[in-house]
Structure 1
């Protein structure tokens, strides 16, 4: 089964996740979020399937997040405004996001081998 990795090809975390997944038998395709942020509806679907809060999809350690002062602004924004903002710039999105290419199954955010073991080994 092929997995889609929403990440940045020059990001060590994204490439480490890709190497880990390939070492565990998965075919992967990298979607470069810096070249083009995922569309709002794609983000909405990924967030819904992940079971995580929308805030977990923000790259809170990123320069763009800090530059925009989002730590203090997100709480006052609606979910739709937050989604619009995420879809406007891939640098705001925590990476990597991994999902099955067929749009089914789990969605993971970030790279934690223990979570990947649960979500992706034997699947």
Structure 2
């Protein structure tokens, strides 16, 4: 299965999504998007395929979000994309693409929606159980 994750190793959500992909028996292509940002068209495609709007795909918790005035509701998608490409830390993460779909995997267990069934127990790095001992997804 061809899986791509736009990953930030400093982000716990991204690390957990990557661990879940590997737990499913898949070795993804890992793109550290802070070092290899997607092109404008690729970013637009990831956002569209995820069923999101551009504003939903921007990381509002970053300090630069406010300092750049990106909270202005009058800014159009192109202005937001410009900011995300200038400062890739503003791209929310992790985006994951598989043959079963594309998702912004927040929370990380959203990745299970686009992977083959996983029935082995799994807990996030903070201990939160995602798949219990009986192989059921905990919601």
Question: Normalising by the residue count of structure 2, what TM-score does the alignment of the two structures yield?
Answer: 0.73
Shift of 1:113: 4.9
Q: Show the counterpart of 2:90.
A: 92
Map 1:1-123 → 2, pairs under 5 A = 1-71=1-71, 73=72, 75-100=73-98, 104-122=99-117
Shift of 1:8: 1.1
Shift of 1:21: 0.9
- Aligned CA RMSD, in angstroms, stands at 2.0
Question: Normalising by the residue count of structure 1, what TM-score does the alignment of the two structures yield?
Answer: 0.82
Structure 2: unaligned runs, 5 residues or longer:
118-139
Query: Radius of gyration: which is bigger?
Result: 2
Shift of 1:58: 0.6
Q: Which has the higher contact order (CA 8 A, sep 6+)?
A: 1
Cα separation, 2, equivalents of 1:97 and 1:113? 10
